[in-house]
Amino acid sequence: MATELRDVPGTDISQTRFAGGKDRGAMLQLTVSDRGSFQTIQLTREECLSLAQELVLFANGQEQQEVHLENFQRSFIEMSE
C-alpha cells in the first residue's frame, strides 16, 4: 500500500512511499509534473541517502565532477611525457 507524503516545498515534486518487496524494503517515488506530463524516479532508502548527499553538495556549490578512468590515464600519460 502506498502513502502520499508531503510535496517537496517550493517545487512541483510529490513524494510517495511504497513497499519495494522483501529485498528492497520501503521505497520512495518522486514525481515531477510539467505541463501535464509526469516523470518519476523510484529509490530505495540507501539511494535516497546517496542522492540527498549529492544534492546538498550541489546546493552548497561543492558538486563533484565525474572522473572517468580513461581521462585520468590520458592525463597521467601526458604529464609523464
pLDDT tens per residue across span 25-62 = 999 999 998 888 999 999 999 999 999 999 999 999 99
Which structural domain range is residue 23 located in?
A: 3-80
Written as one letter, the residue type at 70 is E
Residue 76 has pLDDT above 70, yes or no: no
- Domain total for the chain? 1
Alpha carbons 33 and 26: distance in angstroms, whole number: 23
Show Cβ contacts of residue 48 under 8 Å, excluding neighbours closer than 6 positions: 28
Whole-model pTM: value is: 0.75
